[in-house]
């Protein structure tokens, strides 16, 4: 019987590729504040740029705030090829598909946070990217961080 030399090396390499290209989890990108969905879907934006009633400061829907702050960047990053570029670069560097998905999610989160309407900053601070299997913990952590920021801002406003 003939012997194939290097078969162990080929098997090892194939197993590495299998691990690298097997997706066992997905990625979730979102915002943890309870009102995030309402703001995201609020297409009216009737109060855009108007001053907030006292004692609050600032304006409704600040200069970069917009509804669909998560959906629009996702469409843009997909249609302009940025997601594809991120995935290709990650895989070329030897990273797994799951890591590539997380990197894509982080890019989406960054673009979405730039578009989030700002009052106290709590909504922007509640943004998160996580493997879906760990999303519950990520949501809780993002919410705690954003609530601490919101409370601090409201206290500061009350002092002035």
Q: What's the first-to-final CA gap in the chain, in angstroms?
A: 88
Identify which of 44-48, 65-69, 95-99, 156-160 has the greatest average pLDDT.
95-99
Among 72, 58, 144, 60, which residue's Cα sits nearest to residue 115?
72
Q: Domain of 33?
A: 25-159
Contact between 82 and 107 (Cβ < 8 Å): yes
Strand, helix or coil at 112? helix
Domain count, the chain: 1
100 within domain boundaries = yes
Phi, psi of 136 (to 5 degrees): -60, -45
Instruction: Quote the pTM value.
Output: 0.75
What pLDDT digit, counting tens, does each position of 26-59 carry?
A: 899 999 999 888 888 877 666 666 666 666 655 5
Query: Please, how many CA atoms are within 13 Å of residue 138, restricted to the half-sphere of its CB?
Result: 15
Average pLDDT over residues 56-69: 69
- Position 160 scores a pLDDT of 44
- Strand partners of residue 131: 27
- Position 12 scores a pLDDT of 83
**CA 96, CA 17: separation in Å to the nearest integer?**
9
32 within domain boundaries = yes
pLDDT over threshold 50, residue 120: yes
152 within domain boundaries = yes
């Amino acid at each position: 019987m003939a012997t194939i030399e290097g078969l162990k090396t080929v098997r090892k390499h194939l197993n590495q590729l299998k691990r690298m290209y097997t997706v066992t989890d997905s990625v979730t990108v979102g915002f943890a504040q309870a009102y995030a969905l309402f703001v995201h879907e609020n297409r009216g934006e009737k109060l855009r740029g108007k001053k907030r009633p006292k004692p609050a400061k600032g304006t409704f829907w600040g200069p970069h705030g917009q509804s669909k702050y998560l959906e629009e960047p996702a469409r843009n990053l997909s249609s302009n090829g940025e997601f594809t570029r991120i995935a290709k670069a990650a895989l070329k560097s030897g990273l797994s598909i799951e890591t590539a998905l997380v990197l894509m999610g982080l890019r989406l989160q960054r673009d979405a946070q730039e578009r989030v309407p700002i009052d106290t900053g709590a909504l922007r601070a509640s943004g998160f990217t996580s493997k879906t299997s760990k999303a519950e913990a990520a949501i809780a952590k993002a919410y705690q961080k954003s609530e601490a920021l919101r409370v601090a801002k409201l206290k500061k406003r009350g002092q002035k």
